[in-house]
Chain A
Amino acid sequence: MERLKVDLCGITLDNPVIPASGTFGYGYEFAELYDINILGTFSFKGTTREPRFGNPTPRIAECTAGMINAVGLQNPGVEKVISEELPRLKKCFGKPVMANVSGFSVEDYAYTCARLDTCPQVGWLEVNVSCPNVHGGGMSFGTDPASAAEVTRAVKAVTAKPVIVKLSPNVTDVVSIAKACEDAGADGISLINTLLGMRIDLKKRRPVIASVMGGFSGPAVFPVALRMVYQVSRAVGVPVVGMGGVSTAEDVIEMMMAGACAVEVGAANLVDPFACKKIIEDLPAAMDRYGIKNLKEITEGAR
């Protein structure tokens, strides 16, 4: 449907709906349920240079209108992603996929991105400088403009694919970090990653999450995410991918009115595995309700 199409760094998406990294695995669990080719694209599980088991369990906590996760970047490592996950994905997903990358040093990011640059299936590199769940890693790069810029430059030097830098909301000034990434050559910005949070088990009198804190996501964070998308999209010239608590077609439209050109859907996939399918199906009627002819014009109007 033409009116749902949007552009993301020079690649046309059939619609702006993108399952967010860490909530969609490498796609197969969902491909058993519906044809995932209906998606704009999806961002696969955060991938690192070496395989990682991640954090001890419990890694999950219930919250009001949301959840906390502290998975800690469990993934099979970039070589296995290239040799096993991507060939398997090819059988159920024919579109360019977004490769989500994390690292523990600038060299790690560059190495992993250089490896994924060789994969024709990968359309975009989403560089996660914002994982709250790894000590001394991910998020420290995303909480300082100079470090975020350094990662961006290093990655841009090894890939011709569009680089989208995924930012953390756990900062005092997200705009300065977004601008630093843009200046360093980022082709796009995505935000927000999860908000650092915690819960305590009253009976046990200790944190629910084994590693104490984790990333809070779900509908409760939507207004915070929307505000940051609004701020960043007015400050940078590159496309912005909005995410954080998006659960309905109306949320997608609202994110785009705040300035996002595409929208990632995270926690909602875990509660309702059909969430993205429903959002895509609901979009035309929701657009009609608000007099929107095509989605592209909302973002352009907002910016």
Chain B
Amino acid sequence: MKNSIFTVTENQNIARGTFRMRLSGDTGEMRPGQFVNIKLDGLYLRRPISVCDAEDGILTIVFKTVGRGTEKLASAEPGEKFDLLTGLGNGYDLSKSGEKPLLIGGGAGVPPLYMLAKKLVEAGKRPFAVLGFNTADEVFFEKEFSDLGCAVTVTTTDGSRGVKGFVTDALPAGYDYFYTCGPEPMLRAVYKAARTSGQFSFEERMGCGFGACMGCSCRTVTGYKRICKDGPVLEKEEILWKD
């Protein structure tokens, strides 16, 4: 974990209710699947946001406006400075990917898979990506994933773009392993539908984001885990679903 100041360099509305913000600062030691915790004026708790990309001093985050924190972020102008805790969470374990890993993202769960895809491609892997959204105007990053060299399938719940249905209606054949991030109902569906082992990134309301407060604990096969510190990524085999 590091604590440093980042400066907004751009903030763009890339799909309905979805923003891509780039910030300059110390991006050392940020891994795919990790998150940053952002202090915002007027809000007491920091807001955890997944790392979409981090390279050469530029951090990219992509977020959906869902409440006061993300609305404040959405209105941030270039030049604005934020206090960030970085390098939080365990991140995805790339060593298990196999040759043809499958990346399954849903909505605001798509961004962390981007840096993962980039690192997997750099390592010579050939990832598939299945990206699920509600409607066509919410779709983002289809081109970004295919530019990396991923075989991309987009799904929309209403069929207004790509395959009509859920991500689980469009899982390709022939993948060796999978990585997923998205809303919990989607994660549960992926858990049932997937034919290989894989890794899931979870979301939870957090207090600190660095393992001190036990605010985001969950039960797993291997004992209690803190989503912020021991997660957010859990292996399929260790997941115990709530009820």
Judging by beta carbons under 8 Å apart, are A74 and B204 in contact? no
Kindly state the separation between the CA atoms of A24 and B210 in the bound complex, as whole angstroms.
10
A65 engages B44 (CB within 8 Å): yes
Chain B residues with CB below 8 A from A23, complex form: 208, 212-213
Cα A122 to Cα B219 in complex, Å, equals 30
Give the nearest-CB partner of B47 in chain A. Answer: A62
Cβ 8 A contact of A60, one of B39, B85, B206: B206
> Which residues of chain B come closer than 8 Å to A29, judged between CB atoms?
210-212, 229
**A74 and B217 contacting across the interface, CB-CB below 8 Å:** yes
Interface of B is mostly: loop
Our count of residue pairs bridging A and B at CB distance below 8 angstroms stands at 94
Contacting pair A269 B204 (CB below 8 A): no
Q: What residue in chain B is nearest A202 (Cβ atoms)?
A: B67
**Contact partner, B213, options A53, A65, A69, A274, Cβ 8 Å:** A69
Q: How far is the CA of A125 from the CA of B46 in the complex (A)?
A: 32
Q: How far is the CB of B88 from chain A (nearest CB, A)?
A: 11
CB-CB nearest in chain B for A57? B204
- A271 near B39: Cβ-Cβ < 8 Å: yes
Query: B211 to A274, Cβ gap below 8 A?
Result: no
A86: Cβ under 8 A from any B Cβ: no
Name which residue of chain B comes closest to A274, CB basis: B3
> Chain B interface: which size bin?
20 to 34
Chain B 202-240 against A: per-residue CB contact (8 Å), 1 yes, 0 no? Answer: 001111101111111111000010000100000000000
> Residue B43 at the A interface, CB < 8 A?
yes
B45 at the interface (CB under 8 A from A): yes
CB atoms of A60 and B205 under 8 A apart: yes
Contact status A273-B215, CB under 8 Å? no
Q: How far is the CA of A273 from the CA of B45 in the complex (A)?
A: 12
> Is B1 in contact with chain A by the CB < 8 A criterion?
yes
Nearest residue in B to A33 (C-beta to C-beta)?
B1
Interface string of A61-77 (1 = CB under 8 A from B): 11111110101001000
Q: Which residues of A contact B206 (CB under 8 A)?
A: 60
Interface centre among A57, A66, A71 (most CB of B within 10 A): A57
- In the assembled complex, A218 has its CB within 8 A of some CB on chain B: yes
A137 interface residue per 8 A CB criterion: no
Tell me the bound Cα distance from A208 to B211 in angstroms: 21
Q: Which of B44, B208, B219, B224 contacts A62 (CB 8 A)?
A: B44
Q: Among A45, A208, A271, A272, find the residue whose CB has the most chain B CB atoms closer than 10 A.
A: A271
Contacts of B45 in A (CB 8 A): 60, 62, 67, 270-271
Q: Do residues B212 and A74 form an inter-chain contact, with CB atoms below 8 A?
A: no
**Could you tell me the distance in whole angstroms from the C-beta of B203 to the nearest C-beta in chain A?**
11
A-B pairs with the 8 shortest C-beta distances? Answer: A270-B208, A60-B215, A58-B205, A74-B214, A60-B207, A29-B211, A60-B205, A25-B212
12 A-B pairs besides A59-B214, A273-B3 with CB distance below 8 A are: A25-B212, A29-B210, A57-B215, A59-B215, A60-B207, A61-B205, A62-B43, A208-B205, A270-B208, A272-B39, A273-B1, A273-B208
Q: Would you mind naming 25 contact pairs between A and B with Cβ atoms under 8 Å apart?
A: A24-B212, A33-B3, A54-B214, A56-B242, A57-B218, A58-B204, A58-B205, A59-B205, A59-B207, A59-B214, A60-B45, A60-B205, A61-B205, A62-B68, A64-B44, A69-B215, A71-B213, A74-B214, A208-B205, A219-B44, A269-B208, A269-B212, A271-B44, A273-B1, A273-B85
